[in-house]
């Protein structure tokens, strides 16, 4: 698809978004901004990739060979290593912990599953995603980085299957767009009480999923919350020659609020 065709398609999507008269005006404007942000980031992708190459530049997964596309999330921040910078300290702690098993639910193209496999050579990695394209990309990324023999990729993980990973010390990373309320229920799936969990918290129907999750784990885990932090373009040399607007869009990961929580099982301090 040519650049002109891409731009024409984006204009069609933008027009359709703004003409959804059954959607509140504020929501339409927010949705339109997401379309524009995706366009600006896509326009920056090729020149930055030429400048940076195909290796993650910084952060916990610096040095990881990366794909030329993602199935979920922002491409440029992952390549720069700025992606979810608020988690970098927690990820370093996790990498330093002798987990026998790492389970990544909602693995997308494998940024975390493969990144952790590279950093944790003694751990077995299980990556799950219901999307077939995501699973394919995760397999490609694992092969690119020489860890395909330790990254097992599957479809949806149900709560009933969690017990299969209960042996040894287990870390579970969960990013499943609100479905964490159904999966992470220790009353139904007791094996969760002994696992360390890193969970993306979502806002669903004007309430945060933490309102449900925190009470479930407050007796068995220490819970530490992480919230988004400002991204400074000056920390990334590849952005130095961009104008401030392009620097903003290069580092932009999402337009909605999100946060993460680390649930550390009692008796398993890092």
Residue 173 bridge partners (DSSP): 104, 198
What distance in Å separates the CA atoms of residue 140 and residue 31, rounded to the nearest whole number? 32
Residue 125 bridge partners (DSSP): 102, 151
Which residues neighbour 248 within 8 Å (Cβ) at sequence distance 6 or greater?
233
Length of the chain equals 270
Output the CA–CA distances (angstroms, integers) from residue 161 to 112, 155, 173, 184, 229, in the order listed: 21, 12, 15, 12, 35
pLDDT, mean over the chain:
91
Q: How confident is the model at residue 173 (pLDDT cuts 50, 70, 90)?
A: very high
Beta strands at 259-265 and 196-201: parallel, antiparallel or unpaired: antiparallel
pLDDT, tens digit, for every residue of 192-234? 999 999 999 888 777 788 888 999 999 999 999 998 888 899 9
Asked if residue 49 lies in contact with residue 75, where contact means CB atoms within 8 angstroms, the answer is no
Output the CA–CA distances (angstroms, integers) from residue 270 to 91, 195, 263, in the order listed: 11, 13, 12
DSSP of 226-246, one letter per residue? Answer: E------GGG-GGGTTS-HHH
Closest CA to 157 of 183, 181, 138: 183
Phi-psi map region of 235: left, alpha, beta (phi>0 left; psi -120 to 50 alpha): alpha
Least-confidence region, from 19-28, 217-226, 261-270: 261-270
φ, ψ (nearest 5 deg) of residue 124: -95, 135
- In terms of DSSP H, where are the helices of 53-150? 75-80, 88-95, 111-119, 132-144
Which residues neighbour 167 within 8 Å (Cβ) at sequence distance 6 or greater?
100, 101
- Long-range contacts, 14-23 (Cβ 8 Å, 24+): none
pLDDT, tens digit, for every residue of 30-89? 888 888 888 888 889 889 999 999 999 999 999 999 999 998 878 999 999 999 999 999
Instruction: Give pLDDT, residue 269.
Output: 45
């Amino acid at each position: 698809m040519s650049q002109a065709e891409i731009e024409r398609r984006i204009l069609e999507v933008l027009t359709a978004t703004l003409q959804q008269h059954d959607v509140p005006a504020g929501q339409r404007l927010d949705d339109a901004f997401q379309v524009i942000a995706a366009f600006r980031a896509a326009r920056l992708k090729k020149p930055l990739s030429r400048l940076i190459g195909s290796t993650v530049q910084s952060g916990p997964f610096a040095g990881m060979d990366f794909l030329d596309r993602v199935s979920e999330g922002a491409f440029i921040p992952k390549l720069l290593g700025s992606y979810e910078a608020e988690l970098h300290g927690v990820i370093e702690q996790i990498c330093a912990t002798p987990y026998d098993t790492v389970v990544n639910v909602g693995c997308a193209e494998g940024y975390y599953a493969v990144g952790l496999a590279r950093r944790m050579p003694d751990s077995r990695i299980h990556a799950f995603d219901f999307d077939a394209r995501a699973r394919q990309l995760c397999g490609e990324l694992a092969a690119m980085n020489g860890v395909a023999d330790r990254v097992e990729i599957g479809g949806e993980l149900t709560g009933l299957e969690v017990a299969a990973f209960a042996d040894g010390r287990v870390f579970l990373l969960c990013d499943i767009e609100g479905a964490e309320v159904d999966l992470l229920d220790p009353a139904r799936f007791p094996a969760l009480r002994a696992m360390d969990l890193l969970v993306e918290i979502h806002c669903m129907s004007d309430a945060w999923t933490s309102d449900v999750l925190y009470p479930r784990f407050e007796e068995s885990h220490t819970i530490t919350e992480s919230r988004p932090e400002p991204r400074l373009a000056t920390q990334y040399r590849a952005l130095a020659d961009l104008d401030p607007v392009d620097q903003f869009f290069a580092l932009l990961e999402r337009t909605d609020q999100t946060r993460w929580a680390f649930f550390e099982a009692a008796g398993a301090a890092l």
